[in-house]
Structure 1
Amino acid sequence: MRVTLISSEPVDYTIAFANGLAPHASVQAILPVSRYDRLRQWFDHRVQLHLVDWPRTRSPLNPFFLAGLTRRIGRTCPDVVHLLSNTTLWLNAAAPFWPWPLVTTVHDVTVHPGDRDTARLPSWASGMMARQSDHLVVHGEQLRQAAATQFRKDPHRVHVLPHPAIDRYARLAARLGLSRNAPTGQFTVLLFGRIYAYKGLQTLLRAERLLRDKLPGLRIVIAGRGDDPWSLASEMGDTSRYDIRRGFVEDHAVAQLFTDADLVVLPYDEASQSGVLHLAGSFAKPVVVTDVGELAATVNPVGMGIVVPPKDPAALADALLRLARDPDLRLAMGARAHDWSVGPNSPCTIGAHAMTIYNDSVIPSAQPWPKGGIA
């Protein structure tokens, strides 16, 4: 089977998904050269990369880009075209004219509060792409029904495909020979990714304040783009415990952050799924997550961490303290997380699941051109 992937972001998901599909199909990936040229080395050699100039949303070149993109897709002779996100506005104008079965991955059915990156795209644009796709992929059962309702899709055309493990940073850490770089007696908790309102930063800061006298070696690292954690300094118990790194984090720094962490915390107020969770597993790190979206449904069956209620600083503090005081439990949870990331959640395993969806649902339901257009 020939599968053509199209994506601008999320970058790490795109790499993991393409690599996972490569052992099972002939994979062509059409991607923006500006985002992926420096990342060529992380793609499986079987993925045939087509790196193209990708205009900005407001560029007048977009109509010409879409015409060229359509010709390029045609030259790959795909059995399936899979958009790895529904967040590129201009693709809506081309998709109705594509004669190939179209699958689109929807990472977030609704925009999370405070997520300024996603909110830049009008909601009608992401919804239109989802509605005019033949099939949708989401990352959990809860999201399946929500997507079917939100986008007015037959539930049989909405498929659950877990987010694959993100392993390239762990591979980079091994390549660089990184080791843990932290003083004895320090307990490092990492919050990584886009730091926006829904990520539960306030809950984490209040939990730290509750732990002020109970966990003297606590160090909290907050790294990524988004809101300024220092604007909430009044919520902190001891500001000297915080290592805050705002902005884009280079790959080698990501690898070192996860190597140094004793655990990874996802204290989200709201979520669907999280790539950070799938990155932590590849580093054999236990997690503490809140029971939102698909997080609990992912963590509990694996036994890779502790699940607490959202917006509950006391429960979060108790979970952090429990793991800080029990290194054997952390080691066991981390080992289970790693086994999961190289087994049931490995990119290759997820790629095999994707092939089942293509073969059993997408290809049999393909309609002759022209397609039905927007539902």
Structure 2
Amino acid sequence: MKILLISSEPVDYTIAWANGLAPHAEVIAILPRQRYDHLREWIDPRVTLMLIDWPRTRSLLNIAFLWQLTRRVRDVQPDVIHLLSNTTVWLNAAVPFWGDIPVVTTVHDVALHPGDRETARLPAWSSRLMARQSSHLVVHGAGLKSAAEQVFRKSEGHVHVFQHPGIARYAQLATRLGLSRISAPDAFVVLLFGRIFAYKGLSTLLRAEACLGDRIPNLRIVIAGRGDNPDDYRHLMGDRARYDIRHGFIEDAVAAQLFTDADLVVLPYDEASQSGVLHLATTFGKPILATDVGELRATIEPNGLGRIVPPGRPDLLAEAMAELAADPDTRARLAANARAWSDGANAPTTIGQSATALYRQLAVPSHVTPPN
């Protein structure tokens, strides 16, 4: 079974998905050289990498890029092509030239998140067209499946639910570097990590901190990632001295240290589909405190990963933070559940085995590799 993955981003998802497939199928990945060349060590050596120059969206070099890409597709002759995102504009023009090879596309977000300036730069028609002209779609939750069927006009059986696989490379890096906690032993460290845009609930977290007063001694809130600058919301904070703000791109080793230090990872989102941060945090065995948006409840509660509160309720977020800070036994139980889930049901190889079974169902008979 030969699977061709094509992706520019999300980078961590792409690596986890490719690594998960590697034990179960022959995997070839066509990826942007500038994004993945320095990450080769984190990609399973069983994956055949084809790193190519990937032009910017507005570049006319995309015409030559599509010709090169289509030539490689014809050379590889895969049984299935899986596009790991529907947000690459120019790939829409290439799909019709790939013949009868089934095309699967992962749709991470059926609708644009409020305030997501990065994704909003892409024309909305492009992501819709990619999804509609793909044979099948992958989404990361039952609610997203229903929405995708409607938005992208897919009939029953053409949208498939797979859990977002665990993102393990940061935990592996922490082990390789021998990282240990550097925060004060008596501090209670709450981490908000990732792209900090309006829908991520930054204001809810800041208001929750202000609600807490002195209920959590030695509280430290770490906010790390690119996007909106938390200091622009200083007026919402109760005590600015409690905050450690890392605004901008976070290097891998720094991210690994931040998750090593965290006692609790918070996802106070106002709106979401799923969260890659959740699937990173669980590989560190960190308990999660999240709001009831998108697929977060359906992921967290059945697997015992953390607590859920309503969105936009800083008072209830503060109450849950205080309860977890005062209950190390509960945090330890949630942490153990998180680690077991990330090593088992949510491990990339587990997801990859299920994905390979789907690919075998979808493959055109003339493309299926005969058994040995």
- Normalising TM by the smaller chain, what interval? over 0.9
The equivalent of 2:88 in structure 1 is 88
Q: Which amino acid is 2:4 matched to? A: T
Q: Which structure 1 residue ranges, 4+ long, deviate > 3 Å from structure 2?
A: 364-367
Structure 1 CA distance for aligned equivalents of residues 320 and 123 of structure 2: 38
Q: Which amino acid is 1:24 matched to? A: H
Q: CA deviation at 1:275?
A: 0.4
Structure 2 CA distance for aligned equivalents of residues 183 and 170 of structure 1: 21
| Contact 1:278–1:341 (CA under 8 A) maintained in structure 2 | yes
Q: Which amino acid is 1:70 matched to? A: T
Q: Which amino acid is 1:59 matched to? A: S
Q: CA deviation at 1:184?
A: 2.5
Q: Which amino acid is 1:75 matched to? A: D
* SS class of match (2:294): coil
| Contact 1:145–1:155 (CA under 8 A) maintained in structure 2 | no
Residue 313 of structure 2 corresponds to residue 312 of structure 1: yes
Q: Per-residue displacement from partner, 1:200-246 (whole Å, max 9, x unpaired)? A: 00000000001122113110000001001111111000000010001
Q: Which amino acid is 1:161 matched to? A: F
The equivalent of 1:26 in structure 2 is 26
Structure 1 CA distance for aligned equivalents of residues 56 and 140 of structure 2: 28
The equivalent of 1:77 in structure 2 is 77
Structure 2 CA distance for aligned equivalents of residues 139 and 182 of structure 1: 34
Structure 2 CA distance for aligned equivalents of residues 70 and 20 of structure 1: 25
Structure 2 alignment gaps of length 5 or more: 368-372
The equivalent of 2:370 in structure 1 is none
Q: Per-residue displacement from partner, 1:303-348 (whole Å, max 9, x unpaired)? A: 1100000000011011111110011111110110000001000000
The equivalent of 2:247 in structure 1 is 246
* SS class of match (1:50): strand
The equivalent of 2:46 in structure 1 is 46
Structure 2 CA distance for aligned equivalents of residues 351 and 40 of structure 1: 19
Change in Cα spacing, 1:178 to 1:147, as seen in structure 2 (3 Å) is same
Structure 1 CA distance for aligned equivalents of residues 269 and 348 of structure 2: 25
The equivalent of 1:55 in structure 2 is 55
**Equivalences for residues 280-319 of structure 1 within 5 A:** 280-319=281-320
Q: Per-residue displacement from partner, 1:40-83 (whole Å, max 9, x unpaired)? A: 00001100100000000111111110011000111112000000
Question: What is the root-mean-square deviation in Å for CA atoms of aligned residues?
Answer: 1.1
Change in Cα spacing, 1:172 to 1:166, as seen in structure 2 (3 Å) is same
The equivalent of 2:228 in structure 1 is 227
* SS class of match (1:155): coil
Structure 2 CA distance for aligned equivalents of residues 322 and 331 of structure 1: 13
Q: Which amino acid is 1:69 matched to? A: L
* SS class of match (1:264): strand
Q: Which amino acid is 1:247 matched to? A: G
Residue 175 of structure 2 corresponds to residue 174 of structure 1: yes
The equivalent of 1:370 in structure 2 is none
| Contact 1:198–1:270 (CA under 8 A) maintained in structure 2 | yes
**Equivalences for residues 338-357 of structure 1 within 5 A:** 338-357=339-358
Structure 1 CA distance for aligned equivalents of residues 114 and 197 of structure 2: 8
The equivalent of 1:98 in structure 2 is 98
| Contact 2:79–2:364 (CA under 8 A) maintained in structure 1 | no
| Contact 1:164–1:345 (CA under 8 A) maintained in structure 2 | yes
Structure 2 CA distance for aligned equivalents of residues 332 and 353 of structure 1: 28
* SS class of match (1:255): helix
| Contact 2:145–2:159 (CA under 8 A) maintained in structure 1 | yes
| Contact 1:107–1:272 (CA under 8 A) maintained in structure 2 | yes
Change in Cα spacing, 1:88 to 1:289, as seen in structure 2 (3 Å) is same
| Contact 2:17–2:352 (CA under 8 A) maintained in structure 1 | yes
Structure 2 CA distance for aligned equivalents of residues 135 and 275 of structure 1: 22
Range moving further from structure 2, 279-288 or 350-359: 350-359
Q: Which amino acid is 1:173 matched to? A: A
Structure 2 CA distance for aligned equivalents of residues 179 and 365 of structure 1: 52
The equivalent of 1:149 in structure 2 is 150
Could you state the TM-score of these two structures normalised by the residue count of structure 2?
0.97
Q: CA deviation at 1:366?
A: 9.5
Q: CA deviation at 1:174?
A: 0.3
Residue 214 of structure 2 corresponds to residue 200 of structure 1: no
| Contact 1:101–1:366 (CA under 8 A) maintained in structure 2 | no
Q: Which amino acid is 1:73 matched to? A: V
The equivalent of 2:68 in structure 1 is 68
The equivalent of 1:261 in structure 2 is 262
* SS class of match (2:269): coil
| Contact 1:144–1:155 (CA under 8 A) maintained in structure 2 | no
Change in Cα spacing, 1:243 to 1:159, as seen in structure 2 (3 Å) is same
Structure 1 CA distance for aligned equivalents of residues 229 and 170 of structure 2: 25
Q: Which amino acid is 2:169 matched to? A: R
The equivalent of 1:165 in structure 2 is 166
Q: Per-residue displacement from partner, 1:85-121 (whole Å, max 9, x unpaired)? A: 0000000011122111100000000000000111111
Q: CA deviation at 1:365?
A: 9.3
* SS class of match (1:252): helix
Residue 109 of structure 2 corresponds to residue 123 of structure 1: no
Structure 2 CA distance for aligned equivalents of residues 212 and 118 of structure 1: 37
* SS class of match (1:220): strand
Q: Which amino acid is 1:29 matched to? A: A
Q: CA deviation at 1:356?
A: 1.8
The equivalent of 1:3 in structure 2 is 3
Q: Which amino acid is 1:60 matched to? A: L
